Amino acid sequence: GESVGLHLPTLSVQEGDNSIINCAYSNSASDYFIWYKQESGKGPQFIIDIRSNMDKRQGQRVTVLLNKTVKHLSLQIAATQPGDSAVYFCAESGRGGKLIFGQGTELSVKP
Amino acid sequence: DTAVSQTPKYLVTQMGNDKSIKCEQNLGHDTMYWYKQDSKKFLKIMFSYNNKELIINETVPNRFSPKSPDKAHLNLHINSLELGDSAVYFCASSPSGSPQYTQYFGPGTRLTVL
């Protein structure tokens, strides 16, 4: 079946360090992937996306890498700040256009 | 202005009751969604509507019935509430049903069934 999984449920980093959040997906036919950030008590917020014809995409302080060979996705956050503390979800496009979300990784930034 | 709003934010009710959650989006989007987030933060789609037409209906119990009076609103009615229905329910919207359009989420409704 379709599934998206994360390697680590929690990640703690020092303020100013870079963060890397990983995600594995199972559907090799997926052609669109998204990262969402969910702060406590709020809904998920779009961060960055990538299509399957790309292997890297950069945004402001964030980079998403896609490795289709091993079906792996990662989100890199540069110079992590306290405001980056949240749960991060990867999601892939599934049958019928629905998004399939991974478990989520909780990022904690230490001052 | 809030793009996707939900009411109520919190809902506490007894088992067996019937309750509704309302969702409105002012983004002019054609597609709206309901997701359920469990206690482990796992997010799973329940339904999607495109221009008031049901597009996605996951394996959700018949006790859950979405209703879309117009494309800016998607309400969720739940009959005979059970303990396992306790979760946070998120409404979302996107310009169309293609996943390549960003989905914008509401703030969530935390449902607690006692």
- Is the minimum CB–CB distance between A43 and chain B shorter than 8 Å? yes
Q: Would you kindly state where each structural domain of chain B is located, as residue ranges? A: 4-113
Q: At B91, which helix (H) or strand (E)? A: strand B87-94
pLDDT at B53: 87
Give which of B4, B58, B54, B56 is closest to B28, Cα–Cα.
B4
Q: What is the C-alpha to C-alpha distance for residues A80 and B52, in angstroms, rounded to an integer? A: 41
- Is the minimum CB–CB distance between A111 and chain B shorter than 8 Å? no
Q: Do A42 and B44 touch (CB under 8 A)?
A: no
Rounded to an integer, the average pLDDT of B61-67 is 94
Q: Do A89 and B43 touch (CB under 8 A)?
A: yes
Confidence of residue B1 (pLDDT cuts 50, 70, 90): low
Q: What is the C-alpha to C-alpha distance for residues B23 and B6, in angstroms, rounded to an integer? A: 4
Alpha carbon separation from A70 to A18, A26, A29 (Å, rounded): 23, 9, 13
Q: Do B56 and A96 touch (CB under 8 A)?
A: yes
pLDDT at B102 over 60: yes
Average pLDDT score, chain A: 90
Neighbours of B18 (CB within 10 A): 11
Write down the CATH number for the domain with range A4-110. Answer: 2.60.40.10
Question: Token digits for B22?
Answer: 């309302």
Quote the minimal CA–CA distance from A102 to chain B in Å.
Answer: 7
Confidence of residue A96 (pLDDT cuts 50, 70, 90): low
Average pLDDT score, chain B: 92
Confidence of residue A98 (pLDDT cuts 50, 70, 90): confident
Fill in the amino acid letter for B31.
T
Q: Do B105 and A101 touch (CB under 8 A)?
A: no
pLDDT at B59: 79
Rounded to an integer, the average pLDDT of B19-41 is 94
Quote the minimal CA–CA distance from A86 to chain B in Å.
Answer: 12
Superfamily of domain B4-113: Immunoglobulins (2.60.40.10)
pLDDT at A54: 96
Confidence of residue A1 (pLDDT cuts 50, 70, 90): very low
Q: Are B89 and B66 in contact (CB under 8 A)?
A: no
pLDDT tens by residue, A64-89: 999 999 999 999 999 999 999 999 99
